[in-house]
Amino acid sequence: MTQRKKLIAGNWKMNGSLSANQALLSGLVGQSQGLVADVAVCVPFPYLAQAQEVLKDSAVAWGAQTLSEREPGACTGEVAASMLQEFGCRYVIVGHSERRTLFGESSVVVAQKAEHARVSGLCPIICVGETLAERESGATLNVLKSQLEPLRAGLLTSADFVLAYEPVWAIGTGKTASPEQAQEVHAYLRNWLVERAAAISLEAQQRIAGVRILYGGSMKPANAQSLLAQPDIDGGLIGGASLVLEEFLAICRAA
Ligand SMILES: O=C[C@H](O)COP(=O)(O)O
């Protein structure tokens, strides 16, 4: 069985200030020794330089929360993969439900963003998840499948990406998927990846087993351990709790 090192990634969303970040980032550096899991923070674009400066000699990685699917050039307000690379990013979140809902990002665009990240040496954290209405109508697995479908063969073959299952109804609501609910979906996602990779090549099939699938949606110190104990939950994508040093560290320690 493939052993996957757990990853706990903080998604700060549109939060932070230079002074608050300084305290949070230095606290992380000071207290992250001895953690078994990989740890990362995905910060707003203007704070990438600060994250790089504070985290550069630590085991904590950093990244961004989205990127452009276009080539650098005439595209006001957008940020290219090559720019993120210049700030030492390892990760970039793509397809978060807030981007899909508020900014109309389709699964095709999300796949393009993931591909741009990959070819620039960044590791995309690709988010998928169903709404409450979709879950209640029994459409969860079909929704997830349609979100995954456009992912490119090159990305799947590289296996240098992370998948994050984030049920929309659990994001920022305090409602968490039960460990069993989450495990059921993660197992489905794992199986989808394996089948798709097997259809590409033996090499892709072998590598895909190492892809980590994170759970996101109101993961807190109180529920982290039971979620992270599931065989197909390889870490967490943490929103609110990643802004509170002690809570984020407690989740990292649970992994
Ligand atoms: O990207 C993180 C997720 O949206 C989860 O956010 P949350 O932990 O605040 O529910």
What ipTM score was computed for the predicted complex, to two decimals? 0.99
Per-residue pLDDT at 57 exceeds 90: yes
Q: Assess if residue 168 is contained within a domain.
A: yes
Tell me if residue 115 is catalytic.
Answer: no
Q: Assess if residue 84 is contained within a domain.
A: yes
Neighbour-count burial of 150, counting CB atoms closer than 10 A to its CB (0-12 exposed, 13-18 middle, 19+ buried): middle
Residue with tokens 């109309």: 104
Per-residue pLDDT at 225 exceeds 80: yes
Tell me if residue 136 is catalytic.
Answer: no
What pLDDT, in 10s, does the model give residues 129-158?
999 999 999 999 999 999 999 999 999 999
* Residue 22 confidence (pLDDT): 98
| pLDDT confidence tier of residue 3, bands split at 50, 70 and 90 | confident
What pLDDT, in 10s, does the model give residues 96-111?
999 999 999 999 999 9
- The residue nearest atom 6 of ligand 1, judged by CA position, is 239
Closest atom of ligand 1 to CA, residue 13: 1
Q: Assess if residue 120 is contained within a domain.
A: yes
Contact 165, 188 (CB under 8 A): no
Summarize the confidence of residues 222-231 as an average pLDDT. 97
| pLDDT confidence tier of residue 1, bands split at 50, 70 and 90 | low
247/55 Cα distance (integer angstroms) = 19
Identify the DSSP state of 99.
Answer: H
Catalytic choice (69, 96, 98, 247):
96
What pLDDT, in 10s, does the model give residues 8-20?
999 999 999 999 9
Cβ of residue 129 lying under 6 Å from some atom of ligand 1: no
Q: Assess if residue 107 is contained within a domain.
A: yes
Distance 204 CA to ligand 1 centre (A): 30
* Residue 2 confidence (pLDDT): 76
pTM, two decimals, is: 0.97
Is 5 assigned to a binding site?
A: no
The gap between the terminal CA atoms of the chain, to the nearest Å, is 19
Catalytic choice (98, 130, 166, 247):
166
Cβ of residue 217 lying under 6 Å from some atom of ligand 1: yes
Q: Assess if residue 164 is contained within a domain.
A: yes
* Residue 174 confidence (pLDDT): 85
Is 12 assigned to a binding site?
A: yes
Q: Assess if residue 1 is contained within a domain.
A: no
Distance 218 CA to ligand 1 centre (A): 6
| pLDDT confidence tier of residue 176, bands split at 50, 70 and 90 | confident
**Residue 48 sits in which domain range?**
7-13+22-254
| pLDDT confidence tier of residue 21, bands split at 50, 70 and 90 | very high
Summarize the confidence of residues 27-47 as an average pLDDT. 96
| pLDDT confidence tier of residue 71, bands split at 50, 70 and 90 | very high
Per-residue pLDDT at 75 exceeds 90: yes
Is 172 assigned to a binding site?
A: yes
Q: Assess if residue 145 is contained within a domain.
A: yes
Distance 118 CA to ligand 1 centre (A): 23
72/84 Cα distance (integer angstroms) = 12
CATH number, position 73: 3.20.20.70
Q: Assess if residue 2 is contained within a domain.
A: no
Count of structural domains, the chain? 1
Is 240 assigned to a binding site?
A: yes
